[in-house]
Amino acid sequence: MVVAYDLFCRHGIRAVGVDTIIAQSGVAKMTLYRHFGSKDDLVLAVLDRREELWTREWLQAEVMLRATDPAERLLAIFDVFDGWFRRRSFEGCLFINALIEIDDRKHPIHRASREQLMRIRSFIEGLAVDAGVDEPAGFARQWHILMKGSIVAAGEGDADAAQRAQAIGRLLLASARSGGAPLRG
């Protein structure tokens, strides 16, 4: 699964075939299909692994280590992103990429990606509650848009996207903590 993880993150889901995964991993086709009934099952396992490694063990852990104040933890997301965006190995967000590649909202991969993004948003909402933000659910949606937008901007080549997003985030956070209501839509 390590090879599939790397290939899907770097090249996308549709661009990587099972034969490529088999060739690069050295695993027999029968073995792959014994563990994963289909390519979709393999992709779902990779998405789960990405959530474990990227969301929980890296992003959330780094945010919690970098700040103790909940408001500062929200801003620390972009400090973590800044280092990520500057890596030569920056590959973007597999969850966002999967949503774009698999546009059928009922497809299991699309649903799994949406659910994993929702869990990231829930983490943000928890930080917002702890930071005393009014309407934390609406705020979390706005913050998450800012996060996802910075990832896309970094993918376009804007190495400073996280710093720009953090500057906007400071304004959003100040407004939300002073009673400014999030936009509805």
User: CB pairs under 8 A, 24+ apart, for 171-174?
Assistant: 172/139, 172/142, 172/143, 172/146, 173/71, 173/74, 173/75, 173/131, 173/133
Tally Cβ neighbours within 10 Å of residue 156: 8
**Residue 184 pLDDT class (50, 70, 90 cuts):** low
**Residue 185 pLDDT class (50, 70, 90 cuts):** very low
What is the model's pTM?
0.90
Average pLDDT over residues 123-143: 96
Is residue 108 within 8 Å of 40, Cβ to Cβ? yes
Tally Cβ neighbours within 10 Å of residue 51: 20
Task: Give pLDDT, residue 93.
Answer: 93
Average pLDDT over residues 83-104: 94
What kind of fold does domain 47-177 have according to CATH?
Tetracycline Repressor; domain 2 (1.10.357)
